[in-house]
Amino acid sequence: MEIHVNPDGWKRERLDQGTHRLATADGGIPSYSTPAAGVGWITDATGAPVVHDVLLDGAGLPLEITNPGGSPVTLAFEVCHPMPFGPLDLPLLNIAW
């Protein structure tokens, strides 16, 4: 049996980016008074859908809309779930760290 231990946890950080954003029912930008109802394409200055990922703000909107010139946002995802060792009924080892 092989057990891997990571004291920092098993999370992977990813840059928040994409070609879609949250959108209202009419395709607009969501706000507190007009919540998101789905997703829509992120468009360029000509109104055409972007072909490359755009930086997002961590809440589903393009960073350039919510915080022009802002720092890129990363999101952390749990890639392995922590498990207790007790149910494994492992033998006791005399190991000095």
89-11-81 Cα angle (round to 5): 30
pTM of the predicted structure, to 2 decimals: 0.70
Label residue 56 exposed, middle or buried (CB < 10 Å: 0-12, 13-18, 19+).
buried
Q: What is the pLDDT of residue 75?
A: 94
Q: What is the pLDDT of residue 26?
A: 87
pLDDT at residue 46 above 90?
yes
Distance CA 1, CA 84 (A): 15
Token representation of residue 77: 């995802």
DSSP 15: E
Label residue 68 exposed, middle or buried (CB < 10 Å: 0-12, 13-18, 19+).
exposed
What are the structural domain ranges in the chain?
11-80
Q: What is the pLDDT of residue 96?
A: 62
